[in-house]
Amino acid sequence: MNFIKKNVLLFLGVTTLFISCKDTPQKEEVSKVDPIINSVKEQYAPDKRVAMFDIETIKSNNGYVVKGSSNLPDAVADLKGKLKAENINFVDSIEILPSKKLEGKTQGIIAISAANLRGNPRHSAELVTQGTLGMPVNIFKKEGSWYLIQTPDKYIAWVDYGGVTPMDKEEFNTWKASDKIIFTATAGSSYAEANANSQVISDLVGGNILSLLDEKNDFYEVKYPDGRVAYLKKNEAKPYKEWINSLTHTKESLVETSKTLMGLPYLWGGTSPKGVDCSGFTKTVYFLNGMVIPRDASQQINEGILVDDTKDFSKLIPGDLLFFGKKATDSTKERVIHVGMWIGNNKFIHSAGSVHISSMDKNADNYDEYNLNRYLRTKRILNEDSKGLIYLDKKNIF
């Protein structure tokens, strides 16, 4: 019995040694693969909110299987070139998005007043942003009843089937070429007939865009991306081209728009008049004035020109964006946590709890000592030329 036990132990020891020796070169090769993937990702897709490069490796008998997906063909090509240069054997199993399974329906239009876009394809996942009716999107792939899409500000997120109408290139071009109407009231409804007492077709929020079919008395006849036909009150909407031509991009118009959203509830991920987070509020205000700005405060702070970083608020003009958070230290990076918009007279408007006005004046009833203490700097983006800013009167998005 002891003889058998000793031989079993000896066999296990030799086997363990053999496996360990065999594993060593695999670990060495993995250590070469991962840094290459990470370096390519850092170069092409440092911000996962706006670029996809989800690549991983799995050990195979003859080397590695490199798998995953990306919407960046140049990044994938660079990765494969670097792996080959290092003489690393691999099987290419990377899917370049958009997926071929979409059968050409790689574009789409948001089909409801405010579609909730989530971090993962399920309703319980984090709400990361919203898409408003009429917004054009790129569609990358589908999982179950969810679509992975990218908005005009490059944000990537998941939307369920009810929130978007997928289109092929011809359908999308037909939609884009049609005359449009923009809903200009903060909130309202569309109707089955040219009569406000008729059946409601859907709710609407400011900035919703539909295809314009005709006019009937005091109503516009419109069509939704999914084909529904409805009527809007003329005093709550404008032909899109007329609205574009009326844009002035002024500080006064920004302040006026911001105050129409007073009291709107704070909603993490919200970017519409149904609810907004801090950066969703500034994004919505600027959109309703014909500008598409980046989604998050940590992105918005990179646009425009620096106005102040010393709490000299005399330099500010209405429309400037104030950023708050934690300053960088020797061991930590700066964290941008909050953003608000200056409206003059030592006041700024922001979404925190709800949309409200706060003051930097220590003697004011609405003095905001908390945000003053975490103030970082102010940027001016209105009428500035910056990579992440889109002016709707200069670029035909809709």
Q: Which residues does the annotation mark as catalytic?
A: 278, 338, 350
Q: How many helices (H) and strands (E) does the chain have?
A: 8, 27
Residue 251 Cα distances to 36, 129, 184, 271, 341, angstroms: 47, 26, 18, 21, 11
Is the CB of residue 288 less than 8 Å from the CB of residue 279? no
Q: In whole angstroms, what separates CA 376 from the centre of its chain?
A: 23
* Element at 248 (helix H, strand E): none
Could you tell me the two tokens for 155?
A: 């944000």
Q: How many CB atoms lie within 10 A of CB 88?
A: 17
Give the rounded distance of the alpha carbon of 147 from its chain centre. Answer: 14
Cβ atoms of residues 125 and 100 within 8 Å? no
Cα dist from 160 to 93, 104, 106, whole Å: 27, 19, 15
Q: How far is CA 255 from CA 67, 159, 176, 308, in A?
A: 49, 32, 31, 20
What backbone torsions phi and psi does residue 13 show, to the nearest 5 degrees?
Answer: -65, -45
Tokens of 34: 């991962």
